[in-house]
Each structure stands twice: as C-alpha cells, then as structure tokens.
Structure 1
Amino acid sequence: MKIDKVINNNLVRSFKDGKEVLVMGKGLGFKKHKNDFIDESLIERVYIIDEEEKNSNYLEVLLSNIPYTYIQTTNEIVRYAMNSLDKKLDETIWLSLTDHIYHAIDRAKKGKTVRNALLWEISRFYNHEYLIGKEAINIIKKRHDIQLAESEAGFIALYLVNAQMDDSLKVQETMEFVKRQRKILDIVKYHYGVELNESSVHYDRFFTHIKYFVRRISKEKNLLNEDLGFLDIIKTKYPQEYKCARKIEDYVNKEMNRELSEDEIVYLAIHIKRVIDESL
C-alpha cells in the first residue's frame, strides 16, 4: 500500500483493494509523504472507510485528536474480548469504543462520573460482556493510571453487545432494548407471581428469544407468518401462558406501537410455558 495522505505520525490514509482505508501504527507516518510505501511491519490496524464517512473528514479529525495510546488501549481490549467471547466483533466497535474510552478517561480526570442506570440489568443479562468490561477497566488503569467507575464496565459491555449483532446500533438504542427486555421479563414474573429460575436452560433460551424479539420488533420485523395453526391450541391447552403472551403484546403495542403476528404469540407462549415449568 502507498500513502495517500499523512494525517499524523501514527495515522495515514491509503487504498486497499480499491477501498479507502485509514492505516494505523506507531510511527507509521513519521517523516513520510504522499506516495511513499507503507511499512507493513508497523501496521496495527486498518479501518475501511464506508461511503457515508467518505463524505466528511470526521474520522480523520477524531483520530488525529486522540493520542495513539488510546487506540492501543482499545486494540488490547478488543483483542481480549474476541478471545474471551470466541467471536469476531464488528469493526465499528473499534472506532466507537476508542472515542468512548477517550472521553471516559477525560471525565474521570475531571472527577466526573456518568451514572449507568441499567448497570444491574447489564450485569445480569450480559454477564460475560460485563465481566470483560470490568477487565477493560483494569487494562485502562494499567495503561493510563486512571481508575474508571464500575458504571463504565456496563457501557463497555454494551459496545461489545452491539458488535456481536448483525446491525450496528448506538449505545443509547441498546440501553433502550435492555429496558424493554427487563420489562418483558417482569411481565412474566408478575403474571405468575414467581421469580424466574435464571440458572435453567429454558431461561437462557427464553431470554435469547426476548433479546432478538425486542430487536426484531423495534425494526418492524415480525416472524414470518407460517400459518402454524397453533394459536387455538395454545389458547386451550396453555391459557395462562397465552394470557401472559397477550400482556407482552399489549406492552409492545403501547410502548413500541407494534402489532405481533400470531406466530409471535405462539412462540412467546411456548417459551413462557417452559421457563415457568422450571421456576415453580
């Protein structure tokens, strides 16, 4: 690759496979000029610039103003997360998380802390990502000698949750999803007057269904109506589960202005039946 533009000592713009990219590495742009070859041994990350980002210099401005040590911190956290989760994360996490860490450290230096109102829910619903977030705080402490509040472990966890999904969302949107997931679980809990058995296999399956259910409904996507013909059977055989599923439908209709298909009702009722059987 050749340098198209030197942004700073550690960041240059180039082209790879016909796509515009930002190439990062310590000293990569030092005393370099346009059309110089990039020393590939120094490359730490290559970020592909999408069409929307091409139309602004936002990325260049953002990255040129963030010390390179923050980029290295994010690289270490993302590598740790991918190894721990055993998953490849969406590339968008790298930029968004770098920006977040930079401002989180800046706030901490000024004695400011942002409260995470959903910390409890995040630690319960996304415990693996939350524990990675706590380790990220340790990495930040080691690299920058600053102690971030526990609330930041929750925020970092949400970036990791986003990066595992098929579509990229803002952290604020993911927080809204967490609230809705909590509400749906509460509807089930209060309908039956029991605490759900969170250690059961069916709870895990139910919660996984709820996660994708909330995300799907928010994007106005119902399950394809396969005309299963099970709704009347569910209403007759599992009347309480059916009523509970209808309460969830009422909540979705009121809070999200969405209608549920019959198939959605059927699948919700079946999951409710299974998780309640293991909780009574």
Structure 2
Amino acid sequence: MKINKVLNNNVVVTTNQHGQEMVVMGKGLAFQKKVGQTIEEENIEKHFVLQDTDTSEKLNQLLQNTSDKYLDIASEIYEYARSKLPYKLNDYLYIALTDHISFAITRMKEGIQLKNTLLFEIRKYYKTEFEIGLHSLTIIEEYTGIRMDEDEAASIALHLVNSQLSGENMEMAVQVTEVVNKTLNIVKYHYKTELDENSINYERFLTHLRFFAIRYLRKEQMEETIDTFFYEQVQSKYSPAFKCAEKIATFLEKNYQWVLSKDDMVYLTIHIHRVTYRQKKMN
C-alpha cells in the first residue's frame, strides 16, 4: 500500500484495492516514511474507510493535534470493548474515543467537570457498556494519573452504544436511551408497579425496545407479517398489555411522529405481557 498522507508516526491515509481512501494505523507504521512510499501490511493494526471528504478533514485535524498517548488509550479501550461486547463495533469509534478522551482530560485539567444527565439511565439500561466505561476510567488513570468520575464512564458507554447504531451520530444514541426510558415509565405507571430488572423477561423487553427505537430513528420500515385475525386475538387475550401498548403508541406518535404498525403493536403487547405477568405473580 502506498502512503497518500502521513498524519503522524502511527497513522497514514492510503487507498485500498477498491479505490477507496482509508486510514490505517499501527505503531511506528509511518516512522521516517514519506508520501508515495509503501507500508508493510503486516504492521497494520487497524483500518477503516473514509466515507466522505468532511470525515477525512476532521480526522486529519484531530490526529495532527492529538497526543499519541490518547490514541493509545483509545486503542486499549477499543480492544477491551471489542472483547466484551456481542456486536461489531463501528471503526469510527476509535476516532470518536480519541477525540472524547483528549477533550475530557483537557477539561479536567482546567477544572471543568460536566455532568452526564443520562448517567442513571445508561447505568441501568446499558449495563455491559457501562461496566466497560468504568474499566476505561482505570485505563485512562494508568496512562494519565487522572481519575475521572462515573459521568465520564457513562459518556464512554454512550459512544459504545452509538457504535452499533450509525458511526459518529451520538444524538441517535441519546434518543434511543430517552425513548427506552420513557417507554418503560409508561409501562410502570400503567401497571402501577416496578419491574424486576434482573429477570430474563425484562432483559428481553429492554433489547426489544432498543432495537425498536433504533429502527424507527433510522426510518427503517418493517414488512407487515401479521394478519387482522391474529392482531385481534392478541388484543383480546392480552387486553391490559394491549391498552398499555396503545398508550405507548399515542406517546410515540405525539412526540416523535412514529405511527406503530400492527406488527409493532403485537410484539410490544406480547413483551409487555411477559414482563408484567411474571411480576404480577410474584407480587
């Protein structure tokens, strides 16, 4: 591979076999090398394709003004997260983490601490990601001597959640968390009960809500598969859960302009029934 641009000793821009511009990373990959020279593929540790010119320019600016130490921190967090999570991480996460950590440490040194308003929800709904965020604080402390608080662990967790959504669109990760939280609150208020957060049915419901929110935020249409007869059967058999689902549907349409399909209503009703029926029996 030929070097198109050297960003620092460890990062260069090159072109893959499909003619796409991409960033490749590896310790000492570009040491004493210039544009036009080749790099050894066996020394490449990470790579990702640059989707557009704007991303390329932002990446260029970030890496030229960021210490290699933050690249190393982000790399270690990235690899740890990859070993713990069941889903594939977006390659842009490496850059997003580098940028976030660099900025967060600069703020800490200046005595500026920002609170994460979603700390409670992130800790509650994204337990694995939050645990990785907590471990990341230890990694950061080992490199910098600075111990950050749980608010930063939650911010790192959001980057991980966002990585399975759509690259660098952090706003979507925040929206998913908000939708999940508000939907669960509707269920709790409707049934006037707390849900068993340690139950398998709760975990299944949580997973359904996350992907349900992701699909709508991405504007992905689901093909209708459920006929009117089955829809009416579910409506009749699980009447309390269906009424709760109707409240959720009204909330989503009013606040997000999402109109739920019959399939959505059926799956939502069944999940609500499962998570509340067991709770009712226990109570």
Taking structure 2 as the reference length, what is the TM-score of the superposition? 0.91
- Hey, what does 1:49 align to over in structure 2? 50
Residues 60, 168 of structure 1: CA spacing in aligned structure 2 closer, same or farther, 3 A cutoff? closer
Q: Distance in 2 between matches of 1:253 and 1:116?
A: 28
Matches within 5 A, 1:79-228: 79-165=79-165, 167-168=166-167, 170-228=169-227
- Hey, what does 1:254 align to over in structure 2? 254
Task: Give % identity.
Answer: 38
* Structure 1 stretch displaced more, 114-123 or 27-36: 27-36
How far the C-alpha of 1:41 sits from its partner, in A, is: 5.9
How far the C-alpha of 1:97 sits from its partner, in A, is: 1.2
Q: Is the 8 A contact 2:172 2:217 kept in 1?
A: no
The aligned amino acid for 2:227 is: L
Q: Distance in 2 between matches of 1:77 and 1:194?
A: 38
Q: Distance in 1 between matches of 2:33 and 2:220?
A: 50
Q: Distance in 2 between matches of 1:223 and 1:43?
A: 39
How far the C-alpha of 1:40 sits from its partner, in A, is: 4.8
* Structure 1 stretch displaced more, 228-237 or 241-250: 228-237
Q: Distance in 1 between matches of 2:154 and 2:53?
A: 29
Residues 143, 225 of structure 1: CA spacing in aligned structure 2 closer, same or farther, 3 A cutoff? same
The aligned amino acid for 1:155 is: S
Q: Is the 8 A contact 2:8 2:63 kept in 1?
A: no
- Hey, what does 1:269 align to over in structure 2? 269
- Hey, what does 1:3 align to over in structure 2? 3
Residues 190, 51 of structure 1: CA spacing in aligned structure 2 closer, same or farther, 3 A cutoff? same
Residues 188, 16 of structure 1: CA spacing in aligned structure 2 closer, same or farther, 3 A cutoff? same
How far the C-alpha of 1:215 sits from its partner, in A, is: 1.6
The aligned amino acid for 2:222 is: L
**1:276 alignment partner, SS class:** helix
Note the alpha carbon deviations across 1:52-89, whole angstroms, 9 max, x for none.
447x5222111111111111111100111111225431
Q: Distance in 1 between matches of 2:129 and 2:143?
A: 21
- Hey, what does 1:35 align to over in structure 2? 36
**2:279 alignment partner, SS class:** coil
Q: Which runs of 5+ in 1 are unaligned?
A: none
Q: Distance in 1 between matches of 2:236 and 2:47?
A: 58
The aligned amino acid for 1:28 is: L
The aligned amino acid for 1:253 is: E
Q: Which runs of 5+ in 2 are unaligned?
A: none
How far the C-alpha of 1:4 sits from its partner, in A, is: 2.4
Q: Is the 8 A contact 2:96 2:168 kept in 1?
A: no
Residues 209, 94 of structure 1: CA spacing in aligned structure 2 closer, same or farther, 3 A cutoff? same
Taking structure 1 as the reference length, what is the TM-score of the superposition? 0.92
Q: Is the 8 A contact 2:47 2:91 kept in 1?
A: no
**1:252 alignment partner, SS class:** helix
The aligned amino acid for 1:108 is: M
- Hey, what does 1:20 align to over in structure 2? 21
Q: Distance in 2 between matches of 1:269 and 1:246?
A: 9
Number of corresponding residues: 278
The aligned amino acid for 2:79 is: R
